[in-house]
């Protein structure tokens, strides 16, 4: 089994299904008042270059609920990854202190280097290339709603970013029909689409027309048009993404009672309309809560199999 959790493509279909099952079981246990303190005496280091709310809180709460402790390291605490000291040195120091490293970095290569030198599990809590914990929590949410994953149509409207890439691999492996609609120049990378071919029974289709993409969709998903680190592109991206807002008209174009997801933070009035977020179709906050339930299961899975 994989020791680290860096990107979904590294995991088998059976491993991903096991993680979802563990997530659901632990969610039920904790909601019923039960506890699993299997990580008592264990410590998690959180190496974060980017600010965070849901990711940080859900990992810290999850580790505490499992009986462990968390140390949050901001950029100023370690002087910037690879700047004050090599990533390899920082990682080997952490090996002697902690039982798991959770990293949220600008560059995917930084997490790969952490994993290269780590003697403990490394979890990717977001990079410019992947957001695997988000995608798995999203699929947990979909499975709760539809009692299945295979055959569910997920329409992703917006930028072919790290979230879209992780969702594409997760959907392909676990049997969903994943359809994207992005403006030209913002699509999923062509090389990535080639890598998806033999990943599993699901399908991945890339379009440029949002209304075509959402036809008969069970779920519509969107994310911010401007991610952290892209602030200088904001005005250009707002222009380029005109017509890609998830709004009431797009929701009605599905022809069914479609659910709406957003990984948050949401910029209401840009990629998604306020009345859609607040509508009965929105499952955005159930989705956000499931970050905790997936990440708690992931910590247990990775640390217990060491």
171 annotated active-site: no
Q: Which of 4, 54, 291, 293 is catalytic?
A: 291
Query: b/e per residue, 114-125, with b = 16+ CB within 10 A?
Result: bbebbebbbbbb
**How far is Cα 133 from Cα 61, in angstroms, rounded to an integer?**
15
223 annotated active-site: yes
Q: Which of 7, 60, 65, 134 is catalytic?
A: 134
Q: Which of 54, 56, 131, 293 is catalytic?
A: 131
Q: How far is CA 65 from the centre of its chain?
A: 21
Beta strands in the chain (DSSP E): 43-48, 69-73, 100-104, 122-124, 153-157, 177-181, 203-207, 219-222, 259-262
**How far is Cα 2 from Cα 10, in angstroms, rounded to an integer?**
7
54 annotated active-site: no
Q: Running DSSP on this structure, what letter comes out for residue 209?
A: -
Q: Which of 133, 171, 206, 263 is catalytic?
A: 263
Which residues have a Cβ under 8 Å from the Cβ of 38 and sit 6 or more positions away? 66, 67, 300, 304
108 annotated active-site: no
Q: Which of 54, 104, 129, 262 is catalytic?
A: 104
131 annotated active-site: yes
291 annotated active-site: yes
Active site residues: 104, 131, 134, 223, 263, 291
């Amino acid at each position: 089994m994989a020791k680290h959790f860096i990107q979904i493509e590294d995991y088998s279909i059976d491993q991903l299904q096991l993680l979802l099952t563990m997530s659901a079981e632990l969610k039920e246990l904790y909601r019923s008042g039960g506890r699993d303190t299997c990580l008592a005496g264990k410590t998690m280091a959180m190496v974060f270059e980017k600010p965070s709310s849901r990711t940080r809180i859900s990992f810290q709460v999850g580790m505490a609920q499992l009986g462990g402790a968390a140390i949050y390291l901001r950029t100023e605490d370690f002087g910037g990854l690879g700047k004050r000291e090599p990533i390899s040195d920082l990682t080997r120091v952490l090996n002697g202190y902690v039982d798991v490293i959770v990293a949220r970095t600008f560059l995917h290569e930084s997490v790969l280097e952490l994993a290269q030198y780590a003697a403990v599990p490394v979890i990717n809590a977001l990079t410019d290339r992947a957001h695997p914990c988000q995608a798995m929590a999203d699929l947990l949410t979909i499975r709760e709603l539809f009692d299945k994953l295979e055959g569910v149509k997920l329409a992703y409207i917006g930028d072919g970013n790290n979230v879209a890439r992780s969702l594409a691999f997760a959907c392909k492996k676990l049997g969903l029909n994943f359809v994207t609609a992005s403006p030209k120049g913002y699509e999923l990378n062509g090389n990535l689409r080639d890598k998806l071919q033999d990943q599993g029974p699901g399908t991945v289709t890339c379009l440029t027309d949002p209304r075509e993409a959402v036809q008969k969709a069970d779920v519509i998903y969107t994310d911010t048009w401007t991610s952290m680190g892209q602030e200088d592109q904001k005005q250009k991206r707002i222009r380029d993404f005109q017509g890609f807002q998830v709004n009431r008209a797009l929701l009605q174009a599905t022809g069914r009672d479609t659910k709406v997801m957003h990984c948050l933070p949401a910029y209401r009035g840009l990629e998604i309309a306020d009345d859609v977020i607040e509508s009965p179709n929105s499952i955005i906050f159930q989705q956000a809560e499931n970050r905790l339930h997936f990440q708690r299961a992931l910590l247990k899975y990775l640390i217990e199999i060491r």
